[in-house]
């Protein structure tokens, strides 16, 4: 009887160990309702002081994050879901910027409706900070990109910088070229996993 109990106890311990490892290394789906990406677009040129800095927001169509064992991340965005969020523009002007952004001269969302990121290397840079290297597919082009990510309370916060011309996008210009969108744009993102976000409060604005 002691031997049977001993064997049973060992079996329970082994199963608990294996299960805990699977849970720790499991892939967490992205919480699409709470995760958000904000794109900051600035202007340059002689009349850039009179041009608008645009803020564009979008959610995440689907994706998953795996950590802490063999960490990785993969995200899909719908280019047609990007929305111009400039509060200082009239509804008419905001609609015009939206139309130009979606059109063939910029994102061409009908030809290239999907934006995709897949990590190729993830390195913990200290504490809750991560350096993520991966490939971003945008506008029919795929280019390497680096992300700086901080994990806090079930959320992953980070930034990245992209250059439009790297993806075959010519920065649009207005006023005869006196106001031009800068080639470099900045992305801020707040991403929550579905399993953790219900327990983690929304992080404060960056």
d(CA 164, CA 38) in angstroms, rounded, equals: 16
Phi, psi of 4 (to 5 degrees): -65, -45
Site of tokens 């892939």: 27
* Tens of pLDDT, residues 136-175: 999 999 999 999 999 887 789 999 999 999 999 988 765 3
Selected from 2.40.128.110, 2.70.40.10, 1.10.760.10, 2.60.40.1220, the CATH number assigned to the domain covering 27-197 reads: 2.40.128.110
For 29-71, the pLDDT digits (tens) are 999 989 999 999 877 543 333 456 788 999 999 998 887 778 8
| Domain residue limits, the chain | 27-197
Give residues with Cβ within 8 angstroms of 67, minimum separation 6.
28, 151
Mean pLDDT lowest among 3-12, 107-116, 138-147: 3-12
What pTM value is reported for the model?
0.76
CA distance 206 to 202: 12
The pair of three-digit structure tokens given for residue 87, joined into one six-digit string: 């509060």
Residue of 205, 204, 199, 190 lying closest to 30 (CA atoms): 190
CB atoms within 10 A of CB 96: 13
Q: What is the pLDDT of residue 88?
A: 78
Q: Exposed, middle or buried, 97 (CB in 10 Å: 0-12/13-18/19+)?
A: middle
Average pLDDT of the residues of the chain:
79
Taking Cα atoms as reference points, which of 167, 150, 187 lies closest to residue 37? 187
**C-beta of residue 139 within 8 angstroms of C-beta of residue 111:** no
């Amino acid at each position: 009887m002691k031997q049977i109990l001993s064997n049973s106890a060992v079996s329970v311990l082994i199963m608990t160990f294996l299960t805990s490892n699977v849970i720790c290394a499991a892939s967490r789906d992205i919480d699409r309702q709470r995760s958000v990406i904000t794109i900051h677009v600035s202007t340059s040129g002689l009349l850039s002081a009179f041009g608008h800095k645009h803020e564009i927001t979008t959610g995440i169509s689907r994706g998953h994050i795996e950590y802490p064992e063999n960490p990785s991340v993969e995200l899909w965005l719908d280019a047609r879901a990007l929305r111009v969020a400039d509060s200082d523009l009239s509804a008419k002007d905001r609609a015009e910027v939206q139309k130009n952004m979606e059109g063939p001269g910029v994102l061409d969302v009908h030809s290239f409706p999907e934006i995709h990121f897949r990590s190729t290397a993830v390195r913990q840079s200290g504490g809750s900070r991560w350096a993520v290297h991966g490939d971003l597919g945008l506008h029919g082009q795929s280019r390497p990109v680096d992300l700086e990510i901080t994990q806090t309370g079930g959320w992953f916060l980070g930034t990245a910088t992209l250059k439009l011309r790297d993806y075959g996008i010519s920065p649009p210009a207005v006023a005869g070229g006196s106001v031009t969108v800068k080639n470099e744009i900045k992305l801020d993102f707040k991403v929550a996993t579905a399993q953790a976000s219900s327990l983690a409060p929304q992080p404060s604005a960056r």
